[in-house]
Structure 1
Amino acid sequence: MATLQDELNALLSKHYTADTPGAVILVAKGERILYQHSAGVASKATGAAIIPQTNFRLASVSKQFTAMGVQLLAAEGLLRLQDELSLYFPELEHLGRVQLWHLLNHTSGLPDFEDYIPADQTAQLTDVDVLTLTAAQRHLLYSPGSRFQYSNTAFVLLGLLIERVKGVPYGDFLREYLLRPLQMNDSLLYQTDADIPHRAMGYAKTAAGKFILSDQSIGSATRGDGCMYTSAVDFLKWHQALNSNTLFNINNTLKNNLTSVDAEAGWYYGMGWFYEQLPKDDYLLLHSGDTCGFTNLVMRYPKQDVLVVCFSNIANNQNFLQELLQVLKGFPELMPSSQLAWQLPQLTR
């Protein structure tokens, strides 16, 4: 019978060679790494191979770090999740009584900034640009808290909120309050001149099957919604802190601030995580991340203390993730099956 290692090695070998962009996969249970391997190159220009220390742009997997920043500020008594957004952004007061937890759960009704980017925009959008675009809108899309609708706008504003409350740049806050305490020493928030160690460049595949550089886009520099860079090695440290570090444990905050995505299916969202209720009082936390040059998936089974990480520096690489999930289904003793994971690309766009 094929082992987990055999199956995942075969999957990586099937899709990537020594000169194509590729992926890294990590599976851990408790303190034990059950699988950690990679294939492909981090940069076609340099030929540097992807390794477990390679830093990938997380895209929407970044949202959990933004949510944790807000939780830390709440723990300091500097804000409450029930506070209205206009308390910190008076320029948004005309949009109605949106509370912070609505932003964290994608129920704010805030307009999608992507729909209002000027047609002649050539420079990358900043977080302040997103605030300006949002403030120019006259009304919300729906009443806050009335339904789930995935929103990058909300998490961009949460990153700005952290800056306004703490009075320091968001990247500095993350480094001082999250990354340094957890010894995630190679992780950082993207900025144009950032020196990113072990950096993976992003690529897209053309119809002819050629990989072209696709690392940046007009909307890829906004921070709170998708600008974290980290590695499989550093993400394991993050997972372990979420399970065991009192300061970073999100379980209580998460369960008290969940919103329904599909109540019948047992799918919810909160604090930068999709949450799936499983049989026998079990549950799964997961999130995907897709941007111009990257496709990512993280899955956590807190009761089993199991983590699955897959980071890829190829855009629109969901087919690879689907095959990965198919492999994982063959090991139910390690990871209970999930229906939500198959739906994530549809839910996050």
Structure 2
Amino acid sequence: MRTISALILLLTTHFAYPQPALESRLDSFFHQQSPAQPGFVLSIEKHGQPLYYNTTGHGLDSTTNFRMASVTKQFTAMAILLLEKQGALSVDDPIGRWLPELPLHVGKTILIRHLLTHSSGLLDYENLIPVTQTTQVLDADVLRLLSTHDSTLFPPGSRFRYSNSGYCLLALIIQRVAHTSFSNFVATNIFLPLHMDSSAVYIPGAHIPRRAMGYPNDQSVTSATKGDGGVYTSLNDYAKWTRALQQNKLINLPTTLKRLRFPINPTSYYAAGWFEYANPPLILFHSGSTCGFSNFVIQLPADELSIVFFSNLADNQKPFETINRILKETNFADLEPIFHLHDLTR
């Protein structure tokens, strides 16, 4: 079911808002979709108020919990930053301080900030998993795999290279610094204060309310790691997260991103779970792709505008590309500059 607020239509912004055309074309696009699972949901909000919402797919709605895959990295990064705010660690700590199992060179030269910005040069744990492995890999297994390699792909801090390994290690650092599980720390320090009541970090066998199952496969050998992809949340709960970031409820996000940002190219950066496209207007972006889910989240901070797309189908980028084309052709927003950043996560 779509929804649109007449009051919001009157708000001014950097973008023109031919709302009837936008609404009509998005409605038409959703109407063309099959109602059978799998499907996708879309939410567009400004100042925390809905501009547009629609869904397709059996049983999917704004309360359905989707696996966030790499969108999880925002929550992992926030947990680290909250620990820094508490004085429990520094982003300039060598990771060997908290993970002494790592070889000497890796532990001393890689800093926490390198993990947060994908500039560590860590080996990809996915390439170290034995081809015969059938049991799911956990974050602790990632540490064990990396502990036998005292080398990096490049000097830490010298270049950008997307790394799931780094965010798995961040989850372990959070556990050791906070003396509690990663799942409990995120729930207590992020989900609870923001009233994200149905959100959870994936634990094999644990119940997740209104959980969407992924297609064609819900789980794989790498689906049980937490720090790089284990959060489940809904459109309703993610809207609370977005609004909290816009209002700096947990940390001052703009200041933090400027402090940590690592350059990818002359117009793009990465910091703390967000790609930044910095050629005005500033666009914050991340995607999440896994064996059964495809997610895209965008923020335009100057307008407090958010666009969120969750799908329980793997490699389901084409519907979002169509949505983006509709947004562009109705003069709502042009998100095309961010799509090349999605390719960096593969």
Scaled by the length of structure 1, what TM-score is found?
0.91
2:276 corresponds to: 275
Higher deviation after alignment, 241-250 or 75-84: 241-250
Q: What is the Cα deviation at residue 331 of structure 1?
A: 4.1
Distance 2:22 2:182 in 1: 39
Whole-Å Cα distance in 2 between the matches of residues 75 and 102 of structure 1?
Answer: 18
**Secondary structure class of the residue paired with 2:70:** helix
What is aligned with 1:53?
A: 63
Deviation, 1:342, is 1.7
The residue aligned with 2:92 is 82
Residue in structure 2 matched with residue 210 of structure 1 by the alignment = none
- Is 1:251 paired with 2:269? no
Q: In structure 2, how many angstroms separate the alpha carbons of the residues matched to 1:287 and 1:340?
A: 13
> Is residue 149 of structure 2 the alignment partner of residue 137 of structure 1?
yes
Counterpart mapping for 1:98-247 below 5 A: 98-204=110-216, 214-247=217-250
Structural RMSD (CA) = 1.3
Shift of the alpha carbon at 1:248? 3.3
Q: For the Cα contact (< 8 Å) 1:241–1:249, is it kept in 2? A: no
Q: Contact 2:324/2:336 (CA < 8 Å) preserved in 1?
A: no
SS of residue matched to 1:298: strand
Q: 2:51 aligns with which of 25, 34, 49?
A: 34
| Identical aligned residues as a percent | 40
- Is the CA contact (8 Å cut-off) linking 2:21 and 2:330 kept in structure 1? no
Distance (whole Å) between structure 1 residues aligned to residue 28 and residue 128 of structure 2: 44
Question: Conserved in 2, the CA contact under 8 Å of 1:130 and 1:153?
Answer: yes
Structure 1 residue identity aligned to 2:222: G
Q: Distance in 2 between matches of 1:86 and 1:119?
A: 28
Instruction: Note the residue ranges of structure 2 that are not aligned, 5 or more in a row.
Output: 1-17
The one-letter code matched in structure 2 to 1:344 is L
Q: For 1:79, give the aligned amino acid.
A: L
Distance 1:4 1:180, change over 3 A: same
Structure 1 residue ranges without an equivalent (≥5):
42-48, 205-213
Q: Distance in 1 between matches of 2:337 and 2:110?
A: 28
Question: In structure 1, what is the Cα distance between the partners aligned to 2:256 and 2:150?
Answer: 32
Tell me if the contact between 1:107 and 1:149 (Cα under 8 Å) persists in the aligned partners. Answer: yes
Q: Distance in 1 between matches of 2:163 and 2:126?
A: 10
1:344 correspondence with 2:341: yes
Does residue 327 (structure 1) correspond to residue 326 (structure 2)? The answer is yes
Number of aligned residues: 326
Q: Any residues of structure 2 matched to 1:273-312 within 5 Å, and which? A: 273-279=274-280, 282-312=281-311
SS in 1 for 2:101: helix
Is the CA contact 2:277–2:338 (under 8 Å) kept in the aligned structure 1?
no
- What is the alpha-carbon distance in structure 1 between the residues aligned to residue 115 and residue 146 of structure 2? 13
Q: CA deviation at 1:190?
A: 0.5
What residue identity is the alignment partner of 1:314?
A: L
Asked if 2 retains the 8 angstrom alpha-carbon contact of 1:62 and 1:226, the reply is yes
Taking the aligned partners of 1:150 and 1:236, their CA distance within structure 2 comes to: 26
Question: Secondary structure of 1:303's match?
Answer: helix
Q: Secondary structure at the match of 1:191?
A: coil
Does the 8 Å contact 2:286/2:342 carry over to 1? Answer: no
What is the letter of the counterpart of residue 329 of structure 1? K
Structure 1: distance between partners of 2:201 and 2:29: 30
For 1:138 and 1:98, the matched residues in 2 are separated by 11
The whole-number CA distance in structure 2 between the counterparts of 1:98 and 1:339 is 33
What SS does the aligned partner of 1:117 have?
coil
Residue 21 of structure 1 aligns with which residue? 38
Task: Report the CA distance between 1:36 and its aligned residue.
Answer: 1.3
Q: 1:215 to 1:142 in 2, by over 3 A?
A: same
1:46 aligns with none
2: CA distance, partners of 1:237 / 1:249: 16
Q: In 2, distance between residues paired with 1:76 and 1:63? A: 20
1:324: Cα distance to partner? 1.6
- TM-score under structure 2 length normalisation: 0.91
Cα distance between partner residues in 1 of 2:307 and 2:29: 15
Match of 2:105 in 1: 94
The Cα offsets for residues 111-152 of structure 1, whole Å up to 9 and x where unpaired, read as 000011011100000111100001111311110010000000
SS in 1 for 2:302: coil
Partner of 1:211: none
